[in-house]
Chains A and B, each alone.
Chain A
Amino acid sequence: MANDGAAKLSKNLLRMKFMQRGLDAEVKKQLDEEERRIISDDHWFLDLPELKAKENHIVEERSYVPCEDLVYGRMSFKGFNPDVEKLMLLMNAHKEEEDEEEDETVSRMETDITDEEMARRYESLVGSMRKKFAKKRDRSAITRTEEDVNCNVADHQQPKRAFMKPQD
């Protein structure tokens, strides 16, 4: 009676974990196989011929720059724009290595700032630096004398600061 009852149990019930303890090895294997078949049937697969990986041996290049080793597009000559000349050296550095004999022909930089300009600039610089290092008390005196120099106002010397005794 008991044996008949076991045979009648449905497959789904037998597949459950707690039922598998009592099963013998053969039945277990059968169930496993069946399960595996169901899973693989459910999986999708593409019905395509196998792709052949072809190596691309033709490469396209659309730009002339790598072909002709074109240089950097900004140029400046004879010190017209020193920033750009620095950039030119930087950007064309890898090409310069091959032809270093060019260095002798580098033209002399034209001076942008004349000596007079430099002197004038330095003059004002001296003034401002003096102002910076002067004490606060002296600062007004400095500006005053500077005004005098520039505007030629008649000098009225500030009386020397001294302690004044308070009056009673």
Chain B
Amino acid sequence: MDTVHARFKEKIGEVLLPGDVFSFRLPEDGDGDGNNIKTEKIICGPGFRRNGEEVQVCKSGILRHKQPNLYWIDSQQRRYVPAKGESVIGIVTAKSGDIFKVDVGGSDQASLSYLAFEGATKRNRPNVQVGDLVYSQFTIANKDMEPELVCIDSCGRANGMGVFGADGLLFKVSLGLVRRLLAPQSEIVKDLEKIFPFELVVGMNGRVWVKAKTVQQTLIVANLLETCENMTSQQRQTLFRRVAEGSL
């Protein structure tokens, strides 16, 4: 009877390719039993596209599941596609009247209103220059529209968003590594924080900003993060231990 979930569940952990289809069309038995299947909801995360009564796969990767009814595809990619609610690191590229244009690494530049900063009013403009880094959140991210960013939450507080990064180093990593960094109890972060004090800003768009006490330490952290891309946890731990001992 639990057919919709069963179709997904039998594929959990398997590799899916773009073009694979999960169809939820009613079986052609004609009696009213079909309505029981209809009532259960399903949430399709990234990697799925809804097309009428069926769900199509549009990214290649591994099918993942989260209770109660969330399914998504865990894929590796470097190109960022804006999604509502995600926090990203943007670079201000232009100031035009009421809005800033911000490069977020997507197909189009995002717009950021000058009023979308903490404590900003029409009189009191935020001090944002072209070239500044902003940590901000998408409020509008639709397929064919210009995405829109804000640097405040729904209560009007900044919560760490806004212009940052006086010094430090910005670089790009893959989106998969970013998700590994941001995962709760991330092993990479746990290993990294043992080395020395530093600060890290991770944007969902693959940009990472690092700052440590000296330029040398900043570069060490940045290089370590970049090498984490293709390493097993054992390799990583031995490398990190060598760095902590100061032999590198």
Contact = CB atoms under 8 A, between A and B. Distances in A.
Interface stretch (B90-98, B100-108, B192-200, B226-234): B192-200
B168 to A, nearest CB: 11
B182 A71 contact: yes
B184 interface: yes
B242 interface: no
Nearest to B212: A80
Interface in A64-121: 64-81, 84, 87, 90-92, 95, 99, 102, 107, 110
Interface residues of A, number: 36
Contacts of B50: 58, 60
Contacts, number: 131
Given A73-B202, A74-B200, A57 B38 contact: yes
Of B45, B83, B86, B198, most A-chain CB atoms within 10 Å: B45
B83 A74 contact: no
B85 A63 contact: yes
Contacts of B41: 57-59
Given A60-B48, A64-B72, A75-B202, A70 B84 contact: no
A76 B49 CA distance: 37
Given A74-B160, A87-B159, A67 B201 contact: no
9 tightest A-B contacts by CB? A78-B197, A77-B193, A63-B83, A80-B197, A62-B83, A70-B182, A75-B200, A73-B202, A67-B45
15 contacts: A57-B38, A61-B44, A61-B45, A63-B83, A66-B45, A70-B204, A73-B135, A75-B200, A76-B200, A77-B193, A77-B197, A79-B197, A80-B212, A80-B213, A87-B160
